[in-house]
Copies of this chain bind each other. A is one copy, B any other.
Amino acid sequence: MNIQNVILGFLFEEPMSGYDIKRIMEVSVAHFFDASFGAIYPALKRMEKEGFVKKEIIQQEGKPNKNLFVITDKGKEEFIEYLESPINPTIMRSDFLIRLFFGKFTKKENIIKWMENEKKHLEQELENLLEVQKSSPDTDKYKKITIEYGLEYSKMTIILLEAKIKLLKEEDQERL
């Protein structure tokens, strides 16, 4: 999977601009995929050159013009081919867990700070996902599963972090 495959997926659903793609990613797949404009725009250009998408320039008033990209039959084929290709393993890269792993080299204060920070982020993600779930109750069942997945993950992790933070704080109390 790469940025091209993901863009093709979104354009399979409806024509969009690069800007739209970025925005929709943020409210749908951000918990397991993200991309910057610096990746999206050059990808769209390449894809146009290869005939996977075609560009339609939409004149707008008061706003910059919009490049609306429409998926072609060749693009649809390419996407279907991706779906038939071998799946890549899920990758997680966590600075938080690396720091925790080497936690004995720093003050407990730092560790609690990191945990509370991670918890805060997960609470934000949980809130976002609940919002998404509420605002689009008619999404297809597969998209719903990806939301549930994120919901369960953040809930579980918040609970775990809460318990561990509490334990670490209680250790300090006992010493008084």
Contacts and interface: CB of A to CB of B under 8 A. Distances in A.
Interface of A: 1, 5-6, 9, 12, 28-29, 31-34, 79-80, 83-84, 87-106, 110-111, 114, 117-118, 121, 140-143, 145-146, 148-149, 152-153, 156-157, 160, 164
A101 B156 contact: no
Nearest to A87: B95
Lowest 5 A-B CB distances belong to which pairs? A103-B142, A1-B95, A88-B95, A32-B94, A9-B102
A102 B92 CA distance: 21
B152 A156 contact: yes
Contacts of A110: 83-84
21 contacts: A1-B93, A9-B102, A9-B105, A12-B102, A12-B105, A29-B101, A32-B97, A33-B94, A87-B96, A87-B99, A90-B92, A90-B93, A91-B91, A92-B92, A100-B146, A101-B142, A101-B143, A103-B140, A103-B141, A104-B142, A149-B157
A73 to B, nearest CB: 14
A61 to B, nearest CB: 34
A102 to B, nearest CB: 4
A115 to B, nearest CB: 9
Contacts of A121: 89-90
B99 A94 contact: no
A6 B102 CA distance: 9
Q: Provide the main secondary structure of the chain A interface.
A: helix
A56 B89 CA distance: 36
Nearest to A90: B94
